[in-house]
């Protein structure tokens, strides 16, 4: 295992310290590094809190800032944050308007965020993200996994919260955006969790995992490595079939890298995906391309499609200023 670390047990703490130093104008660490929070809160605004296992950077801490999250709780690598972390984060950013928890649909995350919501004082709503079409809803007891579509939910709900919308409207918005968002990914290599020291799974030189999860969970099938155009078809087809966007409706297209894929290949996948989307009559109004919801150093990518309406388009375009995502005058 070759990694830029001092010791597996100190990776998260030292990474969070560096993150806080690098973005000291935007964020600060909570006590005992339990959470990352916005440096400047908006009084009277509903607080948005998310989190999950580390190793998916910049998700979630990289999306803390104006126009997105108020706080994020980092668990150990690929391990859910604890309820006390989440409660501490909620208390730190509470302005009296309540909190919306945005949670990826993994058993540990859902359980711990639910416990935190029960422990916390005040008005709390939860939005579960389950955008991964690689698995049937009946495959796991918890249903579909939450993957890169989490970014879309956090951005749109974050913009709406910045406008001053109340907690009920924000929770309803998050659930609606999730219902119109679909994702699917492919892995070309595995990743190595520092504490384990060995790859999470093994792929042959000419193999790829189609429909992989962001922790390396198996997807639809392991197949022979193919051309980018064929991979794009394998990802786009089930997404469009499941989402079934309305005729003429505009969408956001997110091509997300898993951490080990160069931008040149991700942009190539933008081109390949667009060819297949146009052939299906899908209109793309906004693009986002890069490594946003990663799996350590895994090579591969995911495709996410969100169907828009006029309100959601304006929320996507609204200013945002976080360590990992920023545009407009936020």
CA torsion, ordered 194, 196, 198, 200, to nearest 10 deg: -100
**Residue-level pLDDT at 247:** 82
Q: How far is CA 13 from the centre of its chain?
A: 21
**Residue-level pLDDT at 139:** 55
Strands 250-257 and 283-290: parallel
- CB 208, CB 300: distance < 8 Å: yes
Q: What is the pLDDT of residues 37-86, one digit of tens each?
A: 999 999 999 999 999 999 999 999 999 999 999 999 999 999 999 999 99
Grade residue 187 by pLDDT with cuts at 50, 70 and 90.
very high
Residue 215 has pLDDT above 70, yes or no: yes
Q: What is the mean pLDDT of residues 237-253?
A: 94
How far apart (Å, rounded) are the C-alpha atoms in residues 296 and 4?
Answer: 12
Percent of the chain at pLDDT > 90 equals 89
Lowest mean pLDDT among 10-14, 203-207, 271-275, 324-328: 203-207
Beta bridge partners of 210: 186, 221
Exposure string for 243-270, b = 16+ CB within 10 A, e = fewer: bebeeeebbbbbbbbbbbbeeeebebbb
Host H or E run for residue 100: strand 99-104
Q: In the block, which residue shows the tokens 């495709």?
A: 303
Beta bridge partners of 40: none
Structural domains in the chain, sorted by start = 8-180+317-323 (3.40.50.10440), 182-316 (3.30.1180.20)
Q: Which residue is catalytic, options 56, 60, 321, 326?
A: 56
Strands lying side by side in the sheet with 27-29: 27-29, 36-38, 71-77, 47-54, 99-104, 124-129
Q: What is the DSSP string of 267-289?
A: HHHHHHHHHHHHHTT-EEEEEEE
215 is an active site residue = yes
How far apart (Å, rounded) are the C-alpha atoms in residues 317 and 319?
Answer: 6
**Residue-level pLDDT at 159:** 98
- CB 132, CB 184: distance < 8 Å: yes
Q: What is the pLDDT of residues 100-156, one digit of tens each?
A: 999 999 999 999 999 999 999 889 999 999 999 998 765 556 789 999 999 999 999
Residues 6+ apart with CB under 8 A from 77: 11, 12, 53, 54, 55, 193, 194, 195, 296
How far apart (Å, rounded) are the C-alpha atoms in residues 211 and 186?
Answer: 5
Residue 266 has pLDDT above 60, yes or no: yes
60 is an active site residue = no
Of the candidates 300, 275, 306, the one whose C-alpha atom is nearest the C-alpha of residue 288 is 306
Q: What is the mean pLDDT of residues 305-329?
A: 97
Q: What is the mean pLDDT of residues 165-180?
A: 98
Tokens standing for 162?
Answer: 């910045």
**Residue-level pLDDT at 220:** 83
Sign of CA dihedral 108, 114, 119, 121: positive
Strands 47-54 and 71-77: parallel
**Residue-level pLDDT at 137:** 61
Tally of CA atoms within 13 A in the half-sphere of 270 that contains its CB: 18
Residue 313 has pLDDT above 70, yes or no: yes
- 3-state DSSP call for residue 253? strand
Q: Which residue is catalytic, options 23, 60, 215, 321?
A: 215
Q: What is the pLDDT of residues 100-113, one digit of tens each?
A: 999 999 999 999 99
- CB 85, CB 63: distance < 8 Å: no
Q: What is the mean pLDDT of residues 196-206?
A: 89
Q: What is the mean pLDDT of residues 269-289?
A: 97
How far apart (Å, rounded) are the C-alpha atoms in residues 262 and 260?
Answer: 7
Of the candidates 56, 62, 51, the one whose C-alpha atom is nearest the C-alpha of residue 18 is 62
Sign of CA dihedral 23, 20, 259, 180: negative
């Amino acid at each position: 295992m070759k990694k830029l670390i001092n010791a597996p047990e100190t990776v998260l703490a030292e990474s969070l310290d560096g993150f806080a130093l690098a973005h000291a104008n935007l964020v600060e660490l909570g006590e005992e590094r339990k959470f990352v929070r916005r440096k400047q809160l908006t009084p009277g605004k509903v607080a948005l809190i998310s989190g999950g296992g580390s190793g998916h950077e910049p998700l979630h801490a990289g999306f803390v800032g104006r126009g997105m999250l108020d706080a994020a709780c980092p668990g150990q690598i690929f391990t859910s944050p604890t309820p006390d972390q989440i409660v501490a984060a909620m208390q730190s950013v509470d302005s009296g308007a309540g909190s919306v928890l945005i949670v990826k649909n993994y058993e540990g995350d859902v359980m711990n965020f639910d416990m935190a919501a029960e422990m916390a004082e005040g008005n709390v709503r939860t939005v579960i993200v389950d955008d991964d079409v690689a698995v049937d809803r009946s495959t796991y007891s918890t249903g579909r996994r939450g993957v890169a579509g989490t970014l879309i939910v956090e951005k749109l709900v974050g913009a709406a919260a910045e406008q001053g919308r109340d907690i009920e409207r924000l929770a309803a918005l998050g659930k609606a955006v999730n219902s119109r968002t679909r994702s699917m990914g492919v892995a070309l290599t595995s990743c190595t969790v520092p504490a384990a020291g060995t790859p999470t799974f093994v792929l042959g030189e000419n193999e790829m995992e189609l429909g992989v999860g962001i922790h390396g969970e198996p997807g639809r099938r392991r197949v022979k490595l193919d051309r980018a155009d064929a991979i794009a078809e394998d990802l786009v087809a089930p997404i469009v079939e499941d989402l079934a966007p309305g005729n003429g409706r505009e969408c956001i297209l997110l091509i997300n890298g898993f951490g080990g894929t160069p931008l040149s290949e991700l942009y190539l996948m933008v081109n390949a995906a667009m060819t297949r989307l146009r052939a299906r009559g899908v209109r793309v109004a906004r693009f986002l391309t890069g490594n946003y919801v990663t799996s350590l150093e895994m090579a591969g990518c995911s495709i996410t499609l969100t169907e828009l309406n006029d309100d959601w388009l304006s929320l996507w375009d609204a200013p945002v200023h976080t360590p990992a995502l920023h545009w407009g005058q936020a």
